[in-house]
A = this chain, B = another copy of it.
Amino acid sequence: MKNPILIPELRDLLKKKKFKVLKSFMEESHPKESAEYLALMNPDEIWRLLKLVDIFHRVDIFVYLDIDVQVKLVTSSMRKNVTELLQELSSDKRADLFQHLEKDVADRLMLYLPIPDRADILKLTSYREETAGSIMTTDYATLTESDTVEAAVRKIRKTAPSRETIYYIYVIDDVGKLIGFVSLEKIILSQPRQKIKNIMKKDIIYAFTDDDQENTANLIEEYDLIALPIIDRSERLVGIITYDDAIDIIREEHTEDMEKLMAISGGVEEKPYLEVPSYVHFRKRAFWVVILAVFGLFTGLIIESFQDTLKTLLILTFYMPLLNAAGGNTGSQSATVVLRSLTLNELHPRDLVKVIKKEFLISSMLALCLGLMTFARVYLFSHTGIDPRFTLVDIAMVIAVALSLQVVWSTIFGGIIPIIATRLKVDPALVSSPLLATVVDMGGVIIYFTAAKLMLGI
């Protein structure tokens, strides 16, 4: 955010009607920076400043404002200002803005627009959330295959200002079917008389309107695209998604992955942390916390069933937190690594056996480390909670062995769970780290007391 010290100066300039200074200030700053200054002023002041620059620059600044500010601006100003702005706004940003307006405001503003624009908004807002259709823009540049390069350049020049990008241009036939693609680079490099048909590429990467937005971001990433064309079921071009949208999607999915991993349910909030009401946070977190608490109670039942062993050897209680931590941590680690490899397509669900072998090796090394360390701790520093029937070596051995087994079981379990989830077509990220920790803990308690019973004969 900008240093707010400049705001009084800007206000002062505005009051003194120093419009020339303000105009050149806004024209020389990056639209994003102008937007950061404007965000600190009231809607009336923002409008007065926005109107100093031409409509294209105005729209550039407007789109960098928070959606809340955008809503206030279009709700509060005169018809002329708003209409001009809405007509220049890119179709995806405009549809997004309409989705954030109060019903009656949206209805009123809709009337300001020509019929095709209204239809465009209705169409774009009708796609299901998180689909390609819901985030695409309809401001793409097109050509026909019979255009010459010369004619193409003329067309592009005429329509460029209202297009999201002119670096990728799509070739459509007379019913709007997508048949080819040509980059502006290719056009610049080709002879003026050449036909688009002869320079266009036909191996087009595309997605459908109802494809998941994450898949479109992946295509843009894998093929290093500037834009991805979106077609409907009759193969007609209906929109494009640009690389900057892909980056936003990747960020959003990242947040979602982290939240799932930490057992937070529901979608990602659009608003910043401090603006989301506390009860919404509560609702998103309570779901898994309550389920995991039920698991915790089960683990308690298992311990309860071993209470005779516990009474005999209270020392076992002292090492329960260690067993628990080691199991949860190693399990979460292997789950994270495998999950990430699956997401990045480095690992295929059919590699299950390879994963088990590898995690067995890794966990054996971890188990050896922790086992030796624990044996030393128990053997060297334990003085209390020991029944005189057993030697310290016996007890240290039981605890070290149980810990090692727990580490191996947790690591392998953590590694295979994301693969099994994928095979069962369940989102593997849902198998969160807390869930995993809770489940391996149940297994750990059984291992622990069974080892004690078998090895010490109690």
The contact of A366 among B157, B286, B323, by CB within 8 Å, is B286
Main secondary structure of the interface of A (DSSP, over half): helix
Contacts of A28 in B (CB 8 A): 202-203
Report yes or no: A333 in contact with B370, Cβ–Cβ below 8 A.
no
Contact (Cβ within 8 A) A369 B290: yes
Please tell me which one of the listed residues B166, B251, B293 contacts residue A322 in the complex, with CB atoms under 8 A apart: B293
- A213 interfacial contact with B, CB 8 Å: no
Query: How far does the Cβ of A355 sit from chain B's closest Cβ, in whole Å?
Result: 8
Residues of B close to A160: CB separation below 8 A:
185, 188-189
What B residues does A279 contact at CB under 8 A?
A: 365
Alpha-carbon gap, A88 to B377, bound state (A):
62
Residues of A201-242 at the interface with B, using a CB-CB cut-off of 8 Å, are 202-203, 205, 220-224, 226
Residue interface mask A176-211, B partner, CB < 8 A = 1: 000000001100110000000000001101000000
Contacts of A188 in B (CB 8 A): 153, 156-157, 160, 166, 184
Q: Given the complex of chains A and B, what is the CA–CA distance between A433 and B223 in angstroms?
A: 35
Interfacial residues, chain A to chain B (CB-CB below 8 A):
28-30, 32-33, 153, 156-157, 160-161, 166-167, 184-185, 188-189, 202-203, 205, 220-224, 226, 243-244, 246-248, 250-251, 254-255, 257-259, 261-264, 272-274, 278-279, 281-282, 285-286, 288-290, 292-293, 295-297, 299-301, 303-304, 307, 310-311, 314, 317-326, 328-330, 332-333, 335-338, 340-341, 344, 346-347, 351, 354-355, 358, 361-362, 365-366, 369-370, 373-374, 377, 384-385, 433-434, 437-438, 441, 445
